[in-house]
Amino acid sequence: MADWGSKLDKSNDKRKAAVGRPDITLPEVIQAYDTWAEDYDKDHVGVFGGPFLSSAALAKVLGDNRDALILDLGAGTGLCAEELSKLSFKNVDAIDASQKMLDIAAQKGLYRKYICAIVTNERLDIEDDTYDGIVSSGAFNWGHLKVNCLPELIRIVKPGGYISFIMREECLWKVPEYKDRLEPAMLELQNTGAWERVSRDIVLNYLGEINGIVYTYRVTAQGMPEERLRSF
């Protein structure tokens, strides 16, 4: 089993500023990543399994469709694009709220587009049914994405496309926004026919002793009903 976090520096002040503070707000999160951007890769490469594991989960369901158009949600400095590129997926767009993180990603030149936007339940400047898949690593976290962004993600994925995302498992009970809300919301979307779950796997030691959880969902032909998009 991979131990992604055995070399994790638990005293890292920039990590402490960006994640793990229960009352952190999204503007503070963005500011923290803007400050962390230059050092982010140094603090993550080799010690954080999220980009590899989420990319592998999406690659598994996309199969031979190496031309698939993928959106990396909360792309940061582009670590998922590096993993997807190794797997021969080259059509990847980045979306992130931190321009400084995207600036680092842009230096690597691995994305087709760099979209600086805060993802919420509001309409993004992206057409319906655009992507074959969404990948996301570490963007569900304290003060990060809210539960109500899920319908908007479904809207921009093609019928039959996939959404794979990974987060700390402990966020399910430690983050007030997700506690007793995130998984019930995911189930509600399944029960109303917008998507169906392909997999839900716990990953041990994804960041230090912290376990991860990686989900993959398949968007149905029906997708997200227009009237539920903004009221979810």
Ligand X SMILES: C[S@@+](CC[C@H](N)C(=O)[O-])C[C@H]1O[C@@H](n2cnc3c(N)ncnc32)[C@H](O)[C@@H]1O
The residue at minimum Cβ distance from ligand X is: 76
Report the C-alpha gap between 125 and 87 in whole angstroms: 28
218 sits in which H/E element:
strand 210-219
Rule CB under 6 A: is residue 55 a binding residue for ligand X? no
Residue 151 interacts with ligand X (CB under 6 A)?
Answer: no
Region binding ligand X by CB under 6 A among candidate stretches 55-63, 135-143, 178-186, 205-213 = 135-143
The residue among 44, 117, 131, 37 whose CA lies nearest residue 82 is: 44
Looking at the Cβ atoms of 17 and 69, the one nearer to ligand X is 17
DSSP-assigned states of every residue in 151-179: HHHHHHEEEEEEEEEEEETTHHHHSTTTT
Q: Cβ of residue 42: shortest distance to ligand X, in angstroms?
A: 12
Instruction: Assess 75 for contact with ligand X (CB under 6 A).
Output: yes
Structure tokens at 62: 């996309």
The number of residues that bind ligand X (CB under 6 A) is: 23
List Cβ neighbours of 15 (8 Å cut-off, separation of 6 or more). Answer: 9, 36, 43
Which is nearer to ligand X, 87 or 118 (by Cβ)?
Answer: 118
Is 172 in contact with 178 (CB distance < 8 Å)? yes
Nearer to ligand X, 29 or 171 (CB): 29
Nearer to ligand X, 98 or 164 (CB): 98
In the set 4, 5, 24, 44, which binds ligand X (CB under 6 A)?
A: 44
